[in-house]
Every structure is written in structure tokens, then in C-alpha cells.
């Protein structure tokens, strides 16, 4: 499978997807959304892909929309298709059966920030910045960020980030609960890959169920959550990975999960 705007590689259980428009700081286009959606589908279908690592080539993660694409002659239908492309990709990131790690290696602005927020984990380099400038330029938010962001940082802080549109660095993002880790600029991608590999060593079925339930918890009741957890515990106990976990604990060794 050959892509024009992304790079897709699979190593050690991690499907690495790199946005590959460094000459435009990985600004998004319709083609990039289409290819990213296709790559995510490929990763989800591949049993060897336990975790998705999303990052950017060059000195930016993604600076948002490529304004050169917003040229005269585009019909309202064209614009809607483009905008819906982001919605489709962000929903897929949120609902994918695999955990997604956004490795923010530089600027993550606008749609770039929304891609990161739709992921399960955000790790940032020391010099990286993330921000939502849409309101400041008369635009509006996408990618489900109006629901996802308050769940991460609380409503008051979400209002501040959205209304002011200010960029924040990794340390502040971690402090407010937006990001998970900050790694040094030097060796950042290696550190992000190691973070993803640690996730890839966990039991796939257990991670899938945990992602589903954590994402739906805000829309659920306690009784519904308890029922879902009971069914989840019963299901994983029928897998070979469950027995491997039990055996490894008893034998004082690291488990080797196979997704079976």
C-alpha cells in the first residue's frame, strides 16, 4: 500500500503512522485525511498491530488546515467533504480497537491538536506546543473536541484553551491533564516508540475492552458500567492470554500475550 501524504510502518507490535507533508508542516488536506483513515483501517485489521503511534515528519506534528487548499472555486459541498474528513478520522481514532498514542514532536495546532486530543495518549517533546486557535481566526472546532477536551481538563480550563486559543507547552499540558508525558527533544521519537512498545506488550483484548468502557463511561450509569465490566471479565477469562497472565504471575516472569 503506497501513500503520498503519510508513512506507514509496523515494528514490534506498533503501527507507526507519520504525517508526511513536512514542507507544509504537515498541514492537513483532503488527501491526507483519506490516507490517514485508510491507514488506521489497515492497522485495525492487522492482528500484529497492537498500538498505533501517530506523529509527524519534520519539525511539526500538524499545524492544522492547509490554507492553500482553501482557494477560490471550492463549492460548499467540497468544503463540507473536507471538514467531514476530519470528523471521520477523529472518530476513528477515538473508537479504534487499538490504543492510539499521539507523539507531538512540534506544533500541534487547530486540526492537529484535535487529532492529538482524539487519541488515547498524548506525549510531547519539550519544545512542542499545542493549541486551538480557531475562535481567534473566526473558525470553529472539529473532531469532537468540544466533548473530549472538557473530559480531559475540565470545563473551566477547556473554555480557557478554546476561547483564548493560546498555545501551551508539554509541561503545562501534563499539569492540566491534557498530555501524559514530556520527553526531551533529543531522542523524542525513540522515547515515544518505547512508550508505545510498552503498551503493545499488554493483553490486546483487555486493552480493547478497557478503551471502550473508559470512553463510554461518561455516557453510562454505574449499573451499566458494572454489567459491562462483568461481561468483560467473563470474556477475557476464556482467552489464552488470560491463562498466560495467570501463569506468568505464578512463575514470576513477564507475560507474553498473543491476542488469542
Q: Which residues are catalytic?
A: 114, 134
How would DSSP label each residue in the chain? ---SSEEEEEETTEEEEEE--GGGTT-B-HHHHHHHHHHHHHHHH-TT--EEEEEESTTEEE-SB-GGGS-TT--HHHHHHHHHHHHHHHHHHHH-SS-EEEEE-SEEETHHHHHHHHSSEEEEETT-EEE--TGGGT----TTHHHHHHHHH-HHHHHHHHHH---EEHHHHHHTTS-SEEE-STTHHHHHHHHHHHHHTS-HHHHHHHHHHHHHGGGS-HHHHHHHHHHHHHHHTTSHHHHHHHHHHHTTS-------
CA 182 to chain centre: 16
227: left (phi over 0), alpha (psi -120 to 50) or beta: alpha
Give me the torsion for CA of 42, 48, 54, 59, rounded to 10°: -110
Distance CA 145, CA 141 (A): 7
Amino acid at each position: 500500500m503506497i501513500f503520498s501524504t503519510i508513512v506507514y510502518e509496523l515494528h514490534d507490535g506498533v503501527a507507526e503512522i507519520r504525517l508526511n507533508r513536512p514542507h507544509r508542516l504537515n498541514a492537513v488536506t483532503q488527501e491526507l485525511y483519506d490516507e490517514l483513515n485508510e491507514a488506521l483501517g489497515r492497522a485495525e485489521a492487522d492482528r500484529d498491530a497492537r498500538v498505533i503511534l501517530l506523529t509527524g515528519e519534520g519539525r511539526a506534528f500538524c499545524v492544522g488546515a492547509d490554507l492553500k487548499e482553501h482557494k477560490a472555486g471550492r463549492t460548499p459541498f467540497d468544503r463540507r467533504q473536507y471538514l467531514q474528513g476530519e470528523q471521520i478520522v477523529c472518530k476513528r481514532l477515538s473508537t479504534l480497537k487499538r490504543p492510539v498514542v499521539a507523539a507531538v514532536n512540534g506544533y500541534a495546532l487547530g486540526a492537529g491538536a484535535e487529532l492529538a486530543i482524539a487519541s488515547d495518549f498524548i506525549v510531547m517533546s519539550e519544545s512542542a506546543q499545542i493549541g486551538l486557535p480557531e475562535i481567534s481566526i473566526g473558525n470553529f472546532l472539529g473532531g469532537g473536541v468540544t466533548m473530549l477536551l472538557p473530559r480531559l481538563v475540565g470545563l473551566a480550563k477547556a473554555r480557557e484553551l478554546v476561547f483564548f486559543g493560546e498555545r501551551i507547552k508539554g509541561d503545562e499540558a501534563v499539569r492540566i491533564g491534557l498530555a501524559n508525558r514530556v520527553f526531551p527533544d533529543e531522542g523524542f521519537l525513540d522515547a515515544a516508540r518505547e512508550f508505545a512498545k510498552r503498551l503493545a506488550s499488554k493483553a490486546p483484548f483487555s486493552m480493547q475492552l478497557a478503551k471502550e468502557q473508559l470512553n463510554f463511561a461518561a455516557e453510562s450509569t454505574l449499573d451499566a458500567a458494572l454489567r459491562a465490566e462483568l461481561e468483560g471479565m467473563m470474556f477475557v477469562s476464556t482467552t489464552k492470554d488470560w491463562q498466560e497472565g495467570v501463569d506468568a504471575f505464578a512463575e514470576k516472569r513477564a507475560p507474553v500475550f498473543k491476542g488469542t
